[in-house]
Amino acid sequence: MILVGSYVALSKPLAAVFPVLLLAWLRFGIGALAMLHWLRKPATEPALTAATKRLLFLESFLGNFLFTLCMIYGVKLTSAVSAGVIMAAIPAAVAVLSWLFLRERVPPRVWAGVVCAVAGIGLLALSKHEIGSPGAGVQAAAAPSLVWLGNLLLVCAVLCEASYAVIGKKLTGSLSPRRISALINLWGFALSTPAGLWLAWRFDFGGVGAGSWLLLVFYALAACMWTVWLWMTGLKSVPAAQAGVFTVLLPISAALVGVIALGERLSGLQLLAFAVALAGVLLATLPSRAAWRVGSRGRPG
């Protein structure tokens, strides 16, 4: 999630160079080339069942394709402040969906971590509003009839991201993290190809500088390969509800990259938001006293 937040912040220059759907198509295409050798089925892995194929499609459609569209167009119709507050619900949505669909038991401490995560990012959104971020005025400029649609799209983005975590947990039970990463990226490439080809036909690639191409390669490898593999590897041994709390690190790392690399200022309220959010991660992930006792008994004398 730290790496995700970093490439989200650093991808802003790319969004100014490439149309969004063309950028997505190029990203999936570069990722597909980099992960060709990950598509091969290991000898120890079972053949893909019809149910697993459906889950792979849903993982890519919801977590890669639909999430991007809902997020981008939702922010355009409402404000960045509203987006921050609504997206803070991702950890809670992951916990609820994992309880409903995976029958995971969600301990009270994880619920407390979810509350801290939501509170921390809520404070972060409020702090952005207080210092008058450029996105704060978008809502006022948008037509009232479209603001509710923007908020609804952002809620859909939250559900898409939560579904991505829950479905990913289900897939790690039968597939390796590498193969999951390669297969869902291939679906993302297929879904974005029609719009990507149409936009590529009309786009002037000669006007793109070398720096933008290098940044695009980093963005593609980080977004399609490294982060997905790390996430799926972690999900093999961590409950989805607990993993969902780590999504709080996405906006935190994005803001820190903005401060360090883009020269943005960090207010006292933003620092408080980070502290509360990180407290939530600690609450949800530190071993319980029972786990410490079991671990102590398991150590050699």
Q: For residue 118, is it within any domain?
A: yes
First-to-last CA distance in the chain? 38
Checking if the pLDDT of 136 tops 50, the result is no
What average pLDDT does this structure show over 120-149? 55
Q: For residue 53, is it within any domain?
A: yes
* Number of domains comprising the chain: 1
Q: For residue 26, is it within any domain?
A: yes
Q: For residue 101, is it within any domain?
A: yes
**What pLDDT shows up at residue 133?**
43
**What pLDDT shows up at residue 299?**
47
Q: For residue 300, is it within any domain?
A: no
**What pLDDT shows up at residue 213?**
94
Q: For residue 267, is it within any domain?
A: yes
**What pLDDT shows up at residue 170?**
85
DSSP secondary structure string for all residues of the chain: -HHHHHHHHHTHHHHHHS-HHHHHHHHHHHHHHHTGGGSSPPTTSPPPPHHHHHHHHHHHIIIIIIHHHHHHHHHHHS-HHHHHHHHTTHHHHHHHHHHHHS-----HHHHHHHHHHHHHHHHHHHHHHHTT-GGGGHHHHS-HHHHHHHHHHHHHHHHHHHHHHHHHHHHTTTS-HHHHHHHHHHHHHHHHHHHHHHHHHH--GGG--HHHHHHHHHHHIIIIIIHHHHHHHHHTTS-HHHHHHGGGHHHHHHHHHHHHHH-----HHHHHHHHHHHHHHHHHHSPPHHHHHHHHHHS--
Domain that includes residue 129, residue range: 2-286
Checking if the pLDDT of 234 tops 70, the result is yes
Q: For residue 296, is it within any domain?
A: no
Identify the residue with better confidence: 241 or 190. 190
What average pLDDT does this structure show over 29-37? 94
Checking if the pLDDT of 51 tops 70, the result is yes
User: Has this prediction a pTM greater than 0.75?
Assistant: no
Report the percentage of the chain scoring pLDDT > 70: 68
Q: For residue 293, is it within any domain?
A: no
Identify the residue with better confidence: 300 or 61. 61
> Residue 92 and residue 149: Cα distance in Å, rounded?
22
Tokens 């409950």 correspond to what residue? Answer: 239
